[in-house]
Amino acid sequence: MLSRTADHLFWMARYMERAENTARMLDVNYQASLLPQAADAAEKGWKGLLGISELTGDFAKHYGAVTPDNVMHYMVSDAANGSSIRNCLQAARENARAVRGTLTTEVWETQNQTWLEFQRMVANDSFLRDPSSMFEWVKFRSHLSRGVTVGTMLQDEAFHFLRIGSFLERADNTARLLDVKFHAVESEYYGGTNGSSGSGKDIEVDFYHWSGILRSVSGFEVYRKAYRNVIRPEKVAELLILRPDMPRSLAACMQEVVTNLKMVANEQSADTLRRAGRLQADLQYGRIDEILATGLHAYLTQFLDRVGTLGVGISRDFLVPVAA
């Protein structure tokens, strides 16, 4: 297939996935803000969210005060924010439009309709009256987008590049979420020797913090099922990093990336495949106690670097037209 086409497909899937993950994080923060909590704790949640997307500075420049409405407006409908859900959905749609002939009619119509409906939903910021239903909608449009891809597209190269885009983006987003959420806690609750200190209040705070992370990746019920235990931070980390059966974990994402990369391999992609395979092997054979011993933040930073390098490699080997 055309390199340019593969590029558009890859980015279409990435932007859709990014929109979904942004909606997930916003929703969890919004839900948390409905719980009784100190003002600074609530603000911290919203700040953390901006930090995940590396937007703290840009937000401060344009909005000033970190309030739920400000952050939600900025992250949902602000056309000036390149990472807003609005811009992700538009970019997904524009990429789809550029290659609509490669997509099935259903896939294209899904992308197009998502964009058209979204514009109606965010007109006048009316979504702020019930943000959760908007976030839910974004999530379901993303489910639909993936589902209609899997359900209607020929499993050829186009399909594989879509999948690579989805899972590379998801790996990146899950890693960022973990990093920020663990970082936030380390200073107060998790920085010590062996997890939470045990007082009733702390356990309660912990529960909402960790269950919030789990919920943001639809992992709360999964956690209970997998561990049949109280919510423990190291188990949360294990679930989201190493469990190959958890669909949003780093291990599961990299497994998908590797599988699909193998299907499109070409003469110059050996090194990119090697890197992807190695990253996946590290996850497959990693242990959570080792990871925590070296430091979660360092581990995740390195992971994000490696995912970034992988993206560059994929782009060079497949997507950006190579000189004749």
Partner 1 sequence: MRPAFDEMRANSDTVREHYRGYDRWLAQQPVDVMLSRREEAEVIFRRVGITFAVYGAKDEDGHGNERLIPFDLIPRVIPSHEWVEMEKGLAQRVAALNRFIHDVYHDQEIIKAGHVPAEQILKNAQFRPEMMGVDVPGGIYSHISGIDIIRAANPDGSGGYYVLEDNLRVPSGVSYMLEDRKMMMRLFPELFSQHRVAPVAHYPDLLLETLRSVAPPSVNEPTVVVLTPGMHNSAYFEHAFLAQQMGIELVEGQDLFVKDNFVYMRTTQGPKRVDVIYRRVDDDFLDPEAFRKDSTLGCAGLLRAYRAGNVTLSNAIGTGVADDKSIYPYVPKMIEFYLGEKPILNNVPTYLCREAEDLKYVMANLHELVVKEVHGAGGYGMLIGPAATKAEIEDFRKAVMANPSGYIAQPTLSLSTCPTYVDSGIAPRHIDLRPFVLSGKEVQMVPGGLTRVALKEGSLVVNSSQGGGTKDTWVLEA
Which parts of this chain interact with partner 1 (CB under 8 A)? 1-6, 94, 97-102, 105, 108-109, 112-113, 116, 119, 157, 161, 264, 266-267, 318-319, 321-322, 324
Q: What is the DSSP string of 79-98?
A: TT-TTSHHHHHHHHHHHHHH
Whether the Cβ atoms of residue 153 and residue 159 lie closer than 8 Å to each other: yes
Question: Nearest distance from residue 8's CB to partner 1, in Å?
Answer: 10
Question: Nearest distance from residue 314's CB to partner 1, in Å?
Answer: 10
Paired tokens of 40: 């600074």
Nearer to partner 1, 112 or 132 (CB): 112
Question: Nearest distance from residue 157's CB to partner 1, in Å?
Answer: 6
Whether the Cβ atoms of residue 149 and residue 16 lie closer than 8 Å to each other: no
Nearer to partner 1, 97 or 275 (CB): 97
Whether the Cβ atoms of residue 121 and residue 134 lie closer than 8 Å to each other: yes
Phi, psi dihedrals of residue 199, rounded to the nearest 5°? -70, 155
Question: Nearest distance from residue 318's CB to partner 1, in Å?
Answer: 5
Question: Nearest distance from residue 112's CB to partner 1, in Å?
Answer: 5
Question: Nearest distance from residue 268's CB to partner 1, in Å?
Answer: 9
Nearer to partner 1, 1 or 292 (CB): 1
Nearer to partner 1, 100 or 297 (CB): 100
Nearer to partner 1, 87 or 211 (CB): 87
Residue 109's Cα: distance from chain center in Å? 24
CA-closest candidate to residue 33, choices 152, 107, 135: 135
CA distance 179 to 66: 21
Nearer to partner 1, 89 or 138 (CB): 89
| Contacts for 82 with CB less than 8 Å, ≥ 6 apart | none
How many angstroms separate the Cα of 189 from the Cα of each of 147, 186, 200?
A: 39, 6, 13
CA distance 32 to 101: 43
Question: Nearest distance from residue 4's CB to partner 1, in Å?
Answer: 5
Nearer to partner 1, 100 or 275 (CB): 100
CA-closest candidate to residue 184, choices 27, 75, 65, 29: 29
